[in-house]
Amino acid sequence: MTAAVLSFEAGTLSLRGDLPEPLPPDVAAHVKWDPRTSTWRARGMDYAPVVIGLLAAGVPLDDRARGFAPVDLKWRKELTLRPHQQQALDRWWQSGSRGIVELPTGAGKTILAVMAIAAVARPALVLVPTIDLLQQWTTVLEDFFGGPVGMLGGGEHRVADLTVSTYDSAVLQMEFIGNRFGLLIADECHHLPGAVYRLAAEMATAPFRLGLSATPDSGDERDALLTGLLGPVVCRVGIGELEGKYLSGYRTERIEVPLDADEEAGYRFHHRVYTDFLKRHRIAFRSPADWGRFLGLCARSAEGKQVLASFFEQRRIARSGRAKIRMVEELLRRHAGERIILFTADNAGAYLLGRHFLLPVITHRTGVRERKEFLEGFRSGVYPVLVTSKVLNEGVDVPEAGVGIVLSGSASVREHVQRLGRILRPAAGKSEAVLYELVGAGTSEQSVSRRRREHAAYRGRY
Amino acid sequence: MLGREYIRFHRRGDLIHPDFLPESQVYLDLAAELLTLYADARDRGCSRGELAVPVEALVKGHGGPAGAFVKLIDDACGYTAAAGNDCPELRRRLLTLSGEWWKNGWDEAARQRALTAMPELAAFAAGDIYGDLPENERLTEIPDWTPEAVIRRYNLGLVQGLLLYAGNLTLTIPAADAAEWRRLFKYLKFFRLLAELRRHDKGLTVTVSGPFALFENTRKYGCQLASFFPAVPLLKNWQVTAEIRWDKRDLRLKLDERSGLISHYRNFSAYVPEEIRLFIQLFRQKSDKWQPVGDTPLIELGEGRIAFPDFSFRAGDDGPVVHLELFHRWHRAQLTDRLAFLARHPELPLVIGIDRSLADDNEFPVILDHYPQLADRLFRFRDFPGVDRVLKMLEGRVSAHSVTGGGISR
């Protein structure tokens, strides 16, 4: 009997050659017959169970799918894990090197991942959601293991034994490189179950998988999807367990800012135009489809276009009215000499602050070079204040930041927790971090604020 | 390509009928007005922001497909960075200074002193310090389209916009025209799509999708399907069906040659990368004996499968023809098939080039071990083969033919 041949093809596995009929049940559970190529086919992520199933059934196997081998990773730095990191690593290892670790921002997820890479000793691919994290992870891996570290995304296309990729680039490239890594690490892994992003994990053959997030749970069907892609949550550590020891102490302050009289009148007028329209058309925004319906109705008539303009205007006033801008100025003066991040809900708000106060702004439009310069300048203190919309919500390591000011944001609990996480990393001379949340008094921002604070991190705090 | 907000169709049951536009005067005038507006804006060096004002007014005034026309035209335009490439450097200097001013809770006296001493920086601070954002980019190139072309691209764009939400596409074509098949399959290969072929008495049914489509109705290949679609109306007779997932509903799109669609894909060469054009050019310069042949033949692989070589070359005016097929990193399955087929059919005048990213220094010897009889037909290249190497392989085939009597077609 010659061998069964397993090949990696564009994010899938192709199984052909001498195969028993019927296929072993553990293999049959993962493959489908593909009439286009007259082969059995499986998802890339099913590599391990298919191989194990064939070998367990005694089928000789010519494994051409596996594109990685053990690597000798040279350490350039000694590492000592903190107790919570050691506990997380142990549990992940005991779970067959598959699973998700929930750690608060600043608790050392990257160091944990570095240890996991060293423990597995296989080529590793790290998935990250943003360009900033791409650069940050690359720097860390080069620091610990030496170069060169591959990068996919932000105009870079280099694949190496250790590679960092944005989720977007990974989806595009996985059909070509999906079999070259033994370990897949998904940073901020709550992004992974999305209809597009999950392909990055489904097309990869890596048997070993590690998910990292401060907020992995969605409370819906995505949780089961995430478990299927990476494994179960194997360790959870909350902010409360680390606050004051490995994370900075913190307080939150919610400031209601009354609108100026003329803006209040404008807000009321435009808000009424908008809400009357919603009532007339019985739109309650209970599902994502309602937003599409609203836009569709607005596009169909001159009145609808006016309603849409009113919607944007009342939102603009609530998010970045003049009184809020004055409050930002007051807080900047109050915390002069400290490192401050200003968060906004949209780019318009971010550039408004940047122009008004002459501050560096990072949005998705900021070029790679300038983005790097702004972050480095913020860390070194050249720029004591940094403005961002959403791109710095997650993961970026700026331990020097001790003050956060949320000018505006969504109702997302995850976003609000992640923003708090930006200022919680411990740093020399940093005693207590503070997160200000500016809320337009008498506007819809009040209910938005209530919803986004429904998390343990805000419980019992003002 | 048109996004969801521009897609207009009506439904009968679950059948989608795109609202194709006729080339009537009202739409031709609208397209002409927009093309004139863009040409004028290019001549005046307008920014995106400046152009947006009259464009928005025109779109609001006309409604209907005007927004989609703008999207199609704008996507084909070229913009350059806003004037003042020194913007990031001026910004860096200004923000570094403002960092100092903020460290003390805003030092207005220091600001005034600094800007008085640096007039260039003062002028920059007085303007828009983020003036190099995309809305300030200047229009420099517009597409060379007629108003009719705008409408034709719009109609194709409606179908492409729907196909972004398709998992696969089924195409039925008559069996007769091998040249049409060839062109079609080159597009499939170019867009890295897989096809399942079924022959029947009316011709051929081709189900087009990507490898992973077997496991879930992923939209990953929607963009490739949409990019492939303009190749279809180039056929004389065709019928396309596709399942479209739209607003959580499963709808069906059904079109044929009577739908009135006109492709802007004129011939495949328009979509062949620059290196192929250069390869042919260099090949003609280097070889008096061998010349590229315009039409490559189809090769029946059995089980309803068909392959088309990438190039065919003829020795002299009426000498033997040898075909060349190239395999890149995404062609692993096809390479395995082709090697097995060629081993069974040594008479086929085919040489095979394999990209080094598909067969590295470890893997290539394994292939040669498996198929020692094909050793003189296989070669490797990096990204694209060199002319000298290809000529050597072609000569090798002729020599082999003169010895074995097989493997050359006339």
Same domain assignment for residues B249 and B284: no
Asked if the structure places residue B156 within a domain, the reply is no
For an interface test with A, the pick among B87, B336, B367 (most A C-beta atoms closer than 10 Å) comes out as B336
B214-238 pLDDT per residue, tens:
777 677 788 889 989 999 998 889 9
- B198 and B126 in one domain? no
What is the DSSP secondary structure assignment for residue A243, as one 8-state letter? B
| % of chain B beyond a pLDDT of 70 | 88
The whole-number pLDDT of residue B83 equals 54
Alpha carbon dihedral A62, A68, A74, A77, in 10-degree steps, equals -140
Contacts of B392 (CB under 8 A, 6+ apart): none
For residues B238 and B256, the answer to whether their CB atoms sit within 8 Å is yes
What is the distance of C-alpha A88 from the center of its chain? 20
Residues 6+ apart with CB under 8 A from A86: none
Q: What is the dihedral of CA B141, B145, B151, B152, to 10 degrees?
A: -110
Q: Decide if B340 touches A, using CB distance below 8 A.
A: no
Residue bearing tokens 């409370």? A219
- B34 within domain boundaries: no
Complex ipTM: 0.70
Exposure string of A400-419, with b = 16+ CB inside 10 Å and e = fewer, is bbbbbbbbbbebbbbbbbbb
**Are B234 and B113 within one domain?**
no
Residues of B in contact with A203 (CB under 8 A): 212
- Which residues are paired to A52 by β-bridges? none
**Do B362 and B399 fall within a single domain?**
yes
Residue B261: its pLDDT value, please? Answer: 94
Asked if B81 reaches chain A (Cβ–Cβ under 8 Å), the answer is no
Q: Which amino acid is at B280?
A: I
Task: Yes or no: say if B350 and B408 are a contact pair by the CB < 8 Å rule.
Answer: no
Predicted confidence (pLDDT) per residue in A51-110, tens digit: 999 999 999 999 989 999 999 887 777 778 889 999 999 999 999 999 999 998 778 888
Domain assignment of residue B240, yes or no: yes
In a 10 Å sphere around its CB, with 0-12 CB exposed, 13-18 middle and 19+ buried, how is residue A278 labelled?
Answer: middle
In order of their start, the domains of chain A are: 4-63 (3.40.1170.30), 83-242 (3.40.50.300), 249-259+321-458 (3.40.50.300), 261-319 (no CATH)
pLDDT for A424 equals 80
Q: Among the three residues B271, B291, B307, which one is the final residue of a domain in this structure?
A: B271
Under the banding of pLDDT at 50, 70 and 90, the label for residue A459 is low
Residues of the domain holding B343: 272-404
- Same domain for B301 and B381, yes or no, is yes
Give the 3-state secondary structure of residue A1.
coil
Whether residue B276 sits in one domain with residue B253 = no
> Does B128 map to a domain?
yes
How high does pLDDT run on average in chain B? 84
The domain boundary, picked from B271, B297, B317, lies at B271
The verdict on a CB contact (< 8 Å) between A176 and B195 is: no
B350-391 confidence digits (pLDDT tens): 999 998 877 877 778 888 888 999 999 999 998 788 899 999
Search chain B and give the residue with CA nearest A33: B214
Is the separation of the CB atoms in A219 and A236 below 8 Å? no
Query: What phi, psi does B193 have (nearest 5°)?
Result: -110, 155
Distances (CA, A) of B121 to A345, B93, B95, B126: 30, 8, 10, 9
Domain at B245, CATH number: 3.30.70.260
pLDDT of residue A455: 67
Q: Which residues of chain B have pLDDT under 50?
A: 269-271, 403-410
| pLDDT of B247 | 81
Q: In this complex, do A336 and B103 lie within 8 Å of one another by their Cβ atoms?
A: yes
Residue A14 has pLDDT above 70, yes or no: yes
Is the minimum CB–CB distance between B212 and chain A shorter than 8 Å?
yes
Residues B347 and B306 both lie in one domain: yes
Among A7-21, A62-76, A284-298, B254-268, whose mean pLDDT is lowest?
Answer: A284-298
Contact A16, B303 (CB under 8 A): no
Residue of A12, A370, A383 lying closest to B99 (CB–CB): A383
Residues 304-333 of chain A with CB under 8 A from chain B are 305, 329, 332-333
In this complex, do B129 and A175 lie within 8 Å of one another by their Cβ atoms?
no
A444-448 mean pLDDT:
87
pLDDT for the residue B406: 36
Q: Is residue B217 part of a domain?
A: yes
d(CA B382, CA B359): 10
B244 and B365: one domain? Answer: no
- The answer to whether position B54 is within a domain reads no
Q: Is the same domain home to B276 and B264? A: no
Q: How many domains would you assign to chain B?
A: 3
The pLDDT of residue B379: 94
Name the helix (H) or strand (E) containing A61: strand A61-63
Q: What is the pLDDT of residues A122-144, one digit of tens each?
A: 999 999 998 888 988 998 999 89
CA B331 to chain A, closest CA, distance in angstroms equals 8
pLDDT at B407: 38
Same-domain status, B358 and B278: yes
Q: What is the pLDDT of residues B11-60, one digit of tens each?
A: 999 999 999 999 999 999 999 999 999 999 999 888 887 888 788 878 87
Interface list for B 262-301 with A (CB within 8 A): none
C-alpha–C-alpha distance, residues A289 and B243, integer Å: 21
Residues B197 and B308 in one domain: no
Q: Chain A residue closest to B336 (CA)?
A: A7
CA A41 to chain centre: 31
Within a domain: residue B283? yes
CA distance A36 to chain B (A): 4
Q: What is the DSSP string of A176-231?
A: HHTTS-SEEEEETGGGTTSTTTHHHHHS---SEEEEEES----SSTHHHHHHHHH-
Examine the fold and report which residue of B228, B254, B271 is the final residue of a domain before the chain moves on: B271
Q: Other C-beta atoms within 10 Å of B144: how many?
A: 8
Whole-number Å distance between alpha carbons of A167 and B181: 37
Full-model pTM:
0.68
pLDDT confidence band for A312 (50 / 70 / 90): confident
Same-domain pairing of B349 and B261? no
Question: Has residue B82 been placed in a domain?
Answer: no
B376/A contact by beta carbon, under 8 A: no
Q: What integer pLDDT is reported at residue B267 of this predicted model?
A: 57
